[in-house]
Amino acid sequence: MRLLRRAAALRTLATPNQEATMSTVQGKVTLLSAGPGDLDLLTLRAAKALAAADVLLVDDLANADIVTLAKHARVIRVGKRGGCKSTPQAFIQRLMQRYAKKGLHVVRVKGGDALLFGRAGEEIAALREAHIPVDIVNGVSSGFAAAAGLGISLTHRDHCQGVTFVTAHMQDHSQPDWAALAATGTTLAIYMGMSRIASLTAALLDALPANTPAAVVQNAGSHEERRLVTTLDRLADEALAAGLGSPAVILIGGAIGEAAEFAARTDDTRSLAHAA
């Protein structure tokens, strides 16, 4: 029955009859968190949603192999590297709505957890305005995978009472208030910070000791994961020297000092580990 309805909905892509479609088939959009990289970090619920998808809109940051889990879906790659024009966000929102209004199950795949720095807020608002049901499937954000790669808790209670996830890439191109963030005493997990790592570490050094433990984890949670563990004052130079770049998470705070690499490190040896 479900397959019949879906087949009917797919036919309407070619011969649109919106009123009939809307009355018999209710489309929807699932905002799906693809996790940080390796496909086995998807949730069971995400795998089910992918298997049931009619249309897949796949983000740059998600593992490209995720399409293998969506056997029946038409796959559309979106995002800045996907060949879209200058307004990819508006384009993606139009695509989601168009297919959902045909009665199809649209799965919008986002890297990490969809609810952290993914512009999900704007997508949810637009879908709600268009009266299209939205499901959200959570996942593992790359900051958690970075901590797992380092073998540390984000919030070791000897060091801090929490963790702040912050993006260095702000809507108005300003910088976050690094002094205020440092004043919380929480571990800082900085996303999208690699292009301004020198300026952000300089700003943090006004508020935090030079020897504050610090790390960069590139491609956290994937087979290409690379890790650098050092101190705040050396972080930018060493990340540059090691050729680390986006996508990466920068971690700063006492809890990072629990990393085995940090404990083992001396002034003459630096740790740049590739995941096994």
Catalytic positions are 59, 80, 192
Given a contact cutoff of 8 angstroms between Cβ atoms, the answer to whether 187 and 163 are in contact is yes
Give the pair of three-digit tokens for residue 176: 């976050």
Q: What three-state secondary structure class fits 231?
A: strand
Interface with a second copy, residue 262, by CB under 8 A:
no
Residues in 215-254 that interact with a second copy by CB under 8 A: 221
Instruction: Give the integer Cα–Cα distance in Å for 29 and 31.
Output: 6
**Least distance from a second copy to the Cβ atom of residue 159, Å:** 8
Among 147, 214, 236, 239, binds a second copy (CB under 8 A): 147
Instruction: Give the integer Cα–Cα distance in Å for 37 and 20.
Output: 40
Residues in 15-74 that interact with a second copy by CB under 8 A: 35-36, 38-45, 47-48
**For a second copy, what does the binding mask look like between residues 116 and 145, x meaning CB under 8 A?**
xxxxxxx-xx--x-----x-xxxxxx--xx
Reference 164, options 181, 140, 183; nearest CA is 181
Reference 227, options 263, 194, 261; nearest CA is 261
Planar angle of CA 40, 54, 137, nearest 5 degrees: 45
Would you say 177 or 224 has its CB closer to a second copy? 177
Given a contact cutoff of 8 angstroms between Cβ atoms, the answer to whether 114 and 60 are in contact is no
Instruction: Give the integer Cα–Cα distance in Å for 53 and 142.
Output: 24
Would you say 118 or 247 has its CB closer to a second copy? 118
Interface with a second copy, residue 148, by CB under 8 A:
yes
**For a second copy, what does the binding mask look like between residues 164 and 203, x meaning CB under 8 A?**
xxxx--xx----xx--xx-xxxx-----------------
Residues near a second copy (CB under 8 A): 35-36, 38-45, 47-48, 113-122, 124-125, 128, 134, 136-141, 144-145, 147-148, 151-159, 161-167, 170-171, 176-177, 180-181, 183-186, 221, 255, 258, 260
